[in-house]
Amino acid sequence: APAAPAAPAAPAARLALGGLPQWGVAAAEATAATAPQAGSLLPTLLAGLALGSVAVGAVQQRRRAPRSRATGSARRIAVAAESGVRDLLLQDAAEPRFPILSRRPAPEGTFPKLPASVRPGVVTGQALVDLLDWAKENKFAMPAVNCVSSSSINSCMEAARAMDAPIMIQFSSGGAQFIAGKGLDNKEFHACVAGAVSGAYHVRALAEQYGVPVILHTDHCAKDLLPWFDGLLEANERFFKKYGEPLFSSHMLDLSEEPLEENIEICTKYLERMAKMNLGLEMELGITGGEEDGVNNENAKPEDLYSKPEEIWQVYEALSKIPDANFTIAAAFGNVHGVYSPGNVKLDPEILGNSQKYIAAKLGLPAGSKPVKFVFHGGSGSDIKDIR
């Protein structure tokens, strides 16, 4: 019997990770308006067979037709149009927010002292630049915490909400692999990449709900870990292509064990690629002493623990030439990783102040200018007076 007209199908669950939301459409059930009479059974069957033949012919013709070069997103929108959900798909495609939660109103937060560009959620692009400049102008540092699980990520965001302040959440290669799990193969750093991306999506899904601005970052990446860095940049590029912003806020390259010229050369190459998607870079020169995440510099030469203003200027001059570059510098001033009793760590933060003066003079800036954004590593064991 002819089916009654089906109501528009309701959209089913969206798939979360990686891209444009995909909509499954619940099958519409139709019931016969009236039961067929015995005499009309044969014509009904013949009509059904005829309609079936037409449908099969249409499918075969569609399969034989040359495939369109349209993007996957465009094809999904076309399919969604046939299912009555085209408008919803287009709305989601235009939203840069995390797909699962895009139906919820965006929390605005209450940060009257923060730059207007900084909102709850992951901070990227110009908002990242504004937030770092704002911290420097107000003479304070934002804490960065290496996270290894959803629990530690949530703890950071809960603390940031309690303090009504922004926070940096970051992953090391080892921490990222831990997030992925011991059972995942780490050939070509697959688990390290997957774990960091998974952690990033977790932050993106919840940061807005906690109502806090988060700088999403990765920690030390030595030369032998560059394949991990490459995988992260590929993930950022895919995310940027779909949402107009990178997945992370920034990444760190730690090539401090390499000659300074090579360090600058590699950082320049990567920053040129990163700047095209508004992704920030943290670079390190000089050596941070102590041990962290398998990198042991406990026997480093004392002179290597202190950067020179001339070296910092070399870095600043080279990276500043890159269009739209956003970078920070982790310069060594005696800081070490690890927990030590006060007095065992000899900090010389005047290196940083003198470097600001040196570079400001090179640039012809007014006295008191601070052109460099510095990052401090290894605060554990330092006397509170030195930190202040």
| Active-site position among 130, 185, 219, 386 | 219
Cα separations in angstroms, 277 against 63, 126, 331: 37, 11, 25
Angle between helices 309-320 and 350-363 (to 10 degrees): 50
184-219: burial string, b at 16+ Cβ within 10 Å, e else: eebeebbbbbbbbbbbbbbbbbbbbebbbbbbbbbb
Residue 99, Cα to own-chain centre: how many angstroms?
Answer: 14
Q: Residue 166: which residues within 8 A CB-CB, separation 6 or more?
A: 114, 118, 123, 131, 142, 160, 212, 213, 214, 215
Note whether 120 and 107 are within 8 A (CB).
yes
Residue 188 DSSP code? G
| Tokens of residue 104, six digits | 């919820």
> Side chain identity at 240, as an amino acid letter?
F
CA dihedral 248, 212, 376, 330 (to 10 degrees): 20
> What number of residues does the chain have?
388
Neighbours of 159 (CB within 10 A): 15
Cα separations in angstroms, 129 against 77, 121, 124, 140, 321: 35, 15, 8, 15, 17
| Tokens of residue 235, six digits | 């993930």
185 annotated active-site: no
Active centre residues (catalytic): 219
